[in-house]
């Protein structure tokens, strides 16, 4: 079992994530825009709730928002808002959740795994690319590398593609491909890996670690596209869009396939099921995790604010929660097709011309679509 295809397949099993950073070579934008003071209060006190996430978030709010505590002291707080955990190591298993959540014992295993480590946000970086953004690479997982994720320069922009991984563990029945991964990483130098279990409910951990990585390794990134490994991205279209973007809009850019008025699924059979004991309330507007595009400036603000938002097991909803805390709303863009396009158009090259992202596509399809779009002879209306 060797061969590049298998590698790509493995990659999919570990929920690999991809992103492209686009940075201008000469960044002379020193002008800061004016501070905008909101006319009305832009945050609300959370309604007291005993669902575990809401509860933990209220504790975080109490500790981080001086306004809430303005007229009172910590000792005036009701006992249920006491953060009796604050001194302990957040990365040690938090066994108190087993008694704090009344139906804990009947929850599916993935919730138990999530809750016990809900407070841990720091994991060892096993494979890093410290110089990634210092010296943009010219030659760089394979279908993506060979198609839309091709790194290098495009006009005055350098583009960097990296793959974000956790640990594909034997406990989750993954074959041990660590030797192949090591080889792949040496070959392409585009893999970042942390030492935590790469599972669906840990994608939020990946998000938080990624935001941290950006701040330390690529603080100058102008724009970031982050998405799943089973999407086709029309990099040409994204670059043209960014080129035409006025500076005033660039700073607060956050676009994708935005879902509004959603809330937790209460049907146990759904992948996105969340029990009442865990979360009560609606979700803020959020961009579906298939892929979204945002500014480096927002990445920095998300990194800061995420420290004040309790981890939530669904990563794209979590990012929406962080944006809400920043007073921002992600914007829906018609070019993001996380629910695919109509079947009759799928083999028409011109159907992809004006799109930014289509989900899902196989590696073979990615290469094919990229070839169509890169053909100078392609003419579309």
Ligand X SMILES: *[C@@H]1O[C@H](CO)[C@@H](O)[C@H](O)[C@H]1NC(C)=O
- Binding-site member from 2, 33, 44, 75 for ligand X (CB under 6 A): 75
Choose which of 193, 202, 234, 235 interacts with ligand X (CB under 6 A). 202
- The helix/strand/coil state of 217 is helix
283 is a contact residue toward ligand X (CB under 6 A): no
- How far is Cα 42 from Cα 55, in angstroms, rounded to an integer? 21
Rounded to a whole number of angstroms, the minimum distance from the CB of residue 156 to ligand X is 4
Q: Which among 184-192, 250-258, 300-308, 332-340 is the span making contact with ligand X, rule CB under 6 A?
A: 300-308
Dist. CA 260–CA 286, nearest whole Å: 7
Q: What is the dihedral of CA 78, 92, 177, 5, to 10 degrees?
A: 10
348 part of the interface to ligand X, by CB under 6 A: no
**143-181 burial: b if 16+ Cβ within 10 Å, else e:** bbbbbbbbbeeeeebbbbbbbbbbbbeeeeeeeebeeeb
Closer to ligand X at the Cβ: 70 or 261? 70
Q: Which two tokens stand for residue 37?
A: 């003071």
From the list 7-15, 55-63, 64-72, 352-360, the region that binds ligand X by CB under 6 A is 64-72
Closest approach of Cβ 93 to ligand X, in Å? 8
DSSP codes, 236-275: HHHHHHHHT--HHHHTT-EEEEEE-S---B--TTSTTB--
Residue from 155, 175, 219, 327 in contact with ligand X (CB under 6 A):
155
196 binding ligand X? (CB under 6 A): yes
Residues 163-192 that bind ligand X (CB under 6 A): 167, 169, 178
Angstrom distance (rounded) from CA 278 to CA 268: 13
Q: Does 236 bind ligand X (CB under 6 A)?
A: no
The end-to-end CA distance of the chain, in Å, is: 45
* Binding-site member from 1, 2, 3, 26 for ligand X (CB under 6 A): 26
Figure out which of the listed residues 5, 9, 74, 270 binds ligand X, where binding follows CB under 6 A.
74
**Which CB sits closer to ligand X, 257 or 315?**
315
Applying CB under 6 A, the span of 50-58, 129-137, 196-204, 314-322 interacting with ligand X comes to 196-204
Q: Which of 5, 9, 82, 88 binds ligand X (CB under 6 A)?
A: 82
* 304 near ligand X (CB under 6 A): yes
Is residue 199 involved in binding ligand X (CB under 6 A)? yes
Least distance between ligand X and beta carbon 116 (Å): 7
CB 288 within 8 A of CB 356: no
**Which one, of 266, 279, 280, 121, lies nearest residue 204 by Cα?**
121
What angle do the packed helices 315-326 and 296-306 form, to 10 degrees?
A: 100
The token duo for 245 is 């973007």
Which C-beta is closer to ligand X: that of 74 or that of 350?
74
Which single residue is written with the structure tokens 């999919």?
A: 12
- If binding is defined by CB under 6 A, does position 201 make contact with ligand X? yes
Report the interface residues with ligand X, using CB under 6 A. Answer: 26, 67, 70-71, 74-75, 77, 79, 82, 110, 113-114, 117, 155-156, 167, 169, 178, 195-197, 199, 201-202, 205, 300-301, 304
């Amino acid at each position: 079992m060797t061969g590049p295809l298998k590698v790509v397949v493995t990659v999919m099993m570990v929920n690999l994530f991809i992103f492209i950073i686009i940075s201008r070579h000469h960044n002379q934008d020193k002008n800061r825009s004016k501070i905008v003071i909101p006319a009305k209060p832009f945050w609300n006190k959370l309604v007291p709730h005993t669902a575990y996430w809401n509860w933990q978030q209220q504790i975080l709010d109490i500790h981080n928002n001086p306004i809430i505590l303005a007229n009172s002291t910590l000792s005036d707080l009701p006992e249920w808002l006491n953060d009796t955990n604050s001194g302990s190591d957040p990365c040690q298993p938090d066994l108190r959740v087993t008694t704090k959540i009344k139906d804990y014992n009947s929850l599916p295993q993935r919730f138990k795994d999530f809750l016990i480590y809900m407070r841990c946000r720091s994991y060892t970086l096993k494979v890093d690319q410290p110089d990634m953004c210092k010296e943009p690479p010219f030659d760089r997982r394979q279908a993506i590398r060979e198609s839309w994720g091709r790194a290098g320069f495009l006009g005055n922009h350098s583009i960097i593609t990296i793959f974000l991984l956790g640990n594909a563990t034997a406990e989750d029945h993954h074959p041990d491909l660590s030797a192949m991964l090591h080889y792949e990483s040496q070959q392409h130098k585009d893999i970042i890996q942390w030492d935590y279990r790469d599972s669906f409910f840990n994608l939020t951990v990946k998000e938080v670690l990624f935001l941290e990585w950006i701040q330390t390794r690529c603080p100058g990134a102008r724009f970031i596209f982050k998405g799943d490994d089973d999407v086709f991205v029309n990099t040409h279209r994204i670059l043209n869009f960014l080129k035409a973007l006025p500076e005033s809009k660039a700073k607060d850019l956050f676009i994708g396939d935005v879902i509004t008025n959603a809330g937790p699924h209460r049907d146990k059979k759904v992948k996105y099921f969340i029990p009442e004991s865990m979360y009560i309330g609606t979700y803020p507007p959020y961009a579906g995790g298939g892929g979204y595009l945002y500014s480096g400036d927002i990445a920095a603000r998300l990194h800061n604010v995420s420290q004040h938002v309790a981890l939530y097991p669904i990563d794209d909803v979590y990012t929406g929660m962080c944006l809400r805390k920043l007073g921002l709303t992600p914007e829906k863009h018609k070019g993001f097709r996380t629910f695919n396009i109509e079947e009759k158009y799928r083999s028409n090259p011109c159907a992809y011309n004006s799109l930014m992202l289509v989900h899902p596509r196989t590696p073979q399809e990615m290469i094919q679509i990229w070839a169509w779009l890169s053909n100078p002879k392609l003419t579309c209306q």
